[in-house]
Every structure is written in structure tokens, then in C-alpha cells.
Structure 1
């Protein structure tokens, strides 16, 4: 049971925002079902405090709902490892509640999931003063995570040897929105990330994932840091859909690894739309890249394939190939201030059914 519907909406300036509404399914929970749920609050005396309630989760009571407005925490909430005979997860939900680190004794992390217990976590976090809003480490059973976080150093960190996971996050003002590191088991469809992020100081999504192959749908705006709104330092990453807009530097910056960018819109970045730097291979398919402050696509040391994409109205070249090969098919590259394509350091561009102006 997911106690929130996630609704995409826009503010008066057209910027994407994120709202949560109560789920009617939760409103109609029967009395018998409620007997299997624990309620907790640090501000409502009639209810157990949050840490006590977490320790009381069991095979018969696997749902914890935290209520009662702003909740100050002096230690992290850690998902317990409960032995069960079925596959039902532990569930921790904030309901009309924001978890906040106590200013006198803030925990390093607000929520920890570090065991083999499958979990479903849906929480609002004000992370001022903490390093991580949600930390997921070595979760052998996987999980589903939905976090709204503000002002954390890291909104969400996923690391270690992890099984199938689904992430849906709204993040604002964190230094880094999501960091994925080390490895992920299974195929990329089992590891889905959907993030909405704004005003990150470093980057919205940082991929340091070794051999992990993940799928990311990102709608991110106004990254203020130099590293790119989405930064891949290693591993295999597929960006599938989404809008990446208004970053101070590059929209996407890729280092070593494989990066596929499919069906994305990249616009109004201070640097390049996409930078492929020294990776093994890059793919741009069905994308729109426009109004960036430098080149639309910059590839150096990374063989790159561009298909059915529209690369236009960028301040530099549409495509720059620096010491590598870029293959362009069925794409439009037009209106770029410096020209359609340029090659440097023995780079090359090959094309088929390509319109370049």
C-alpha cells in the first residue's frame, strides 16, 4: 500500500514542482488492517516515540506510519531485519509529517536501509545539518523508495551490492541529489530511478557505479555546480526520458563507462548539452539539445553514435568530435552559432541522412 500519490505540477514560473496528496486507499483502511499498523510521533504523547516504534516492528506489524507535523530526530531511523515467511516488505511512511535532524544532536543520516529486509519507504525529510537523507547499502532484498528531501549534503545515497530497486524522489537544495555507487545486480529495468531535482550545489545525479546498469528518468533544473546536472564517472547508465534544464555547466557529463541518452530534452545549460569524456561508448537517440552555452554534443576519446536527434540553436557547434569518431544518422543539426560540426585532434564525423546547417 502506497499512502501517497505523487503528482507532477508546475509553479507560476513554469518550473516543475512536486506535491503529495493523500491516497484514498489509505483513507479507507479497515479497522482490521489498522491493527497491523504501528503509529508513532515525537510530538503526540498518546503515541509511542518514533525510535521505539521502529524497534517494535515485527512480522505481524510491518507498517509504521509517522504522524504529527515536524519531527526532530537525534538518531537515524534504521529499517529492521525481520524474519518472515512471505515477501511482504517492511513499510515506513511519513503522513503529513516532515522528519528533521535535531539541531542540538543531528544524526549523520535520517533513514538507513542496510540489511536484507525488503523495504518500502516514503518520507518527507528536511535534511539541514545532515549528510544523507536516505542511505541504502547492501540491500539483498531490494526495495521501493520515495523521498522528498531538502538541504541535505546528499539527498539519497545507494551503494554496495544491491538487488532490484525503484526510486522516485523530489530533491531541492541538496549538494548532490542522488549518488549511486558500486554495483547493482540484475538487469537495468529492475533498477529504475525517477528524480525531480532543483538547485543542487554539485550535481543532481552522480553515477559512480562500477558495473551497475541503471535506468534514470530525470527532470532536473537549475544545477549551480560545475560537475554537470547529471554526472557519470563510471559504470553503465541509461538516461531514458526526462528534461535536464538550466545547469551552470554541462547538462550531462560522462567520464569512463557506457552512457546512453534516449528521448531526453537538454536545454539552457551554461556549458555543453552532453559531454562524453574518455568513456568507452556513447549513444544519443531521439533527443533534443538546444540553447546551450557551448556545443550541443562534445565527444572526446569516446566513440559516439547520434540518431534521430535535434541539435539546434547552441552557442558553439552542434557537434564537436575531438580525437574520436562520431556517427550521425537521421538527425537535424541546425542554427548553431559556430556551425553544424567540427573535428579537432584527428577526430572524425560520419553521417547518413543528416541535415546540418
Structure 2
């Protein structure tokens, strides 16, 4: 429980509301996790800043929670205060095709708003769960597009100084599923600014699953399509994989793609190819002489099929997509941990490649 005097100070902050009942199972898309030491809902950016400063000054550990789509939290009492971001204002500037979203805005609502306005650039990121504030932290990406492609600035609360400022995206060292905000807790994202395209067309599309669905040929240079068409197609593809949250579908009770696609040296990629011998093995240039492999492909070739380990399990791989670990309704964190370790260890045994989890772990670790 929060100290009573600290709780009173928080309750006095305009736009902040204490929640003594909520659990992490209610705050996360995996629907797993125990009860935090305390929870505070922040309806405004100003309240969020004040609450974080107050807790930091009191040396109280805290966790910023948006959509909860990237969290794996331990069961039982969790000695951390959940600061729940509910500031969700979104604004469009049609004069220069920029979009600004507060951190608590539902990400897919942001994408939908941009598409309805005829602005391109983030339509390939449709259907991704979570909040706008989380997107620059791990440089969210899908179907050849990353937030870093359109991110211009982020508004940050520097937790060491208490200062609030807009920071250029170039200062975040954005790369594949990474920024220098990730795993550091050095700053809190308050808002993001995106530079979009004003002609009603998507960002340039890559040939691949989405490209094939949109009848794009490999010969096309910088292919683009209407933003509405691209969004609708992406949503169709994601739904078929159980990657759009549907509360009645256990396959969507997940943290999305659980493992990042591994970045390896060419020799390792060659060794994987030699082991499997499939000419269509996915491998892509990743810069600095490295190559990116497909985590889902490795999981399947290591012998883990969709739905593993079976329909009677509390957790399993999605029945639609092997990269999602799903709660079948009554799972606890230990169940998820065991499956994650089984998948990671199985892939390493088969190919010598160690998969790295994408979600943030609170109160437990895949190395436990």
C-alpha cells in the first residue's frame, strides 16, 4: 500500500485518481499479473508529470502503463506503483501534415484518425495494440514500416532533472525494436509528433506478404497505394494471425510478437540454412554486415507448431501465428514463463540462435 501521506498528496493533484482495486491482469493484454503496490490514473499530461515527480522524489518504484500490450508481470503482490497514462488528446495540422498525440492515446485510434484524414505514413502499423507513448520506446514496426520513419519529436519528462522538453527523434538512437529510452526508465514519454504524407497515399511499400496481397510486383519502384486500402489489408492480415485484440478470441490474449527477429552474422545465417536447407529461408540485410532472420520461421522449424503444446494448456502458441504466446483463459505468470523458456531453449538447441523476448518483464525474467 502507498504511504497515507503520499496517497493524500497524489489525490490532491488535479487529473490524478488513485485506484486501489486494479490488478495487472486487468491492465495488460496478456491478462496476467498481480496487484500493484498502488495505482494512479493520470487523465492529463500535467497530472502524469506531477505524479511521476512525486513518486520519484519519494524513491517509490513505479511503472508507466499505457495499453499494457508489452508487459509480462509476475503474480501476487507486485512492489511497484502503476502509473496509468490516460491523457489521450490527438491533434492534426493539415497545413504541414503533422500529427501530435498524447502518450495515452490508443495507437490504432491514432492510425485510424490519420487514415480518415487522408494522411499517409503509419497505415502499415494498423491494428497494433498499445498506446502512442509506447511506440517510440521500442520503435514499433510492421510490414516494412517503423515509427522512426515518421517520428519527428517526442515530449519527454526527464526523471533525473524533472524537466519537460521536446526532443528530436534523432536523439533517441532509433533502430530495429530499439531506442535509448528502452529498459532505461530515464524519461517518460508525454507526447509524440509525426510527419505524415498529405497526398492520400501510403508510405512506400515493400514486396512481401502485404505487397502480394496488394498486387505489388518486385519491379515496382517506391510502390504506394491509397491509405484506406493499405489499412484495411493490414487489418485483414493481422486478424488472420490473431494479432488484432478481440476480447472473445484467446489467440489475441497475448503481448503481440513475443520474440524479436534475431540479428545475426552471415556465418550464423549460413549455418541455419545448412541445417534446414530451405531455399526460401527468410533472411534480410540488417546493416553493419548483419542479417535478420525470422523468429516465427525459426520457432516453426525447431518443431513448435501453432497451438503448441495443445488445447488443454493454460498457455500456448497462438493457433494462428507461432510468434505469439497466448493466455488461454486461466494462465499465471509461471505458465507463460515456462512456455517462453521452452521455445527459446528449443530454438537455441536446433540452430544455436538465442531468441530475445520483446516485452518488458516485471517481477520475473525469462532467465529465472
TM-score interval for Structure 1 and Structure 2 normalised by the shorter chain: under 0.3
Using structure 1 for the length normalisation, give the TM-score. Answer: 0.26
Structure with bigger strand share is 1
- Greater C-alpha Rg: 1
Higher relative contact order (CA 8 A, sep 6+): 2
Structure with bigger helix share is 2
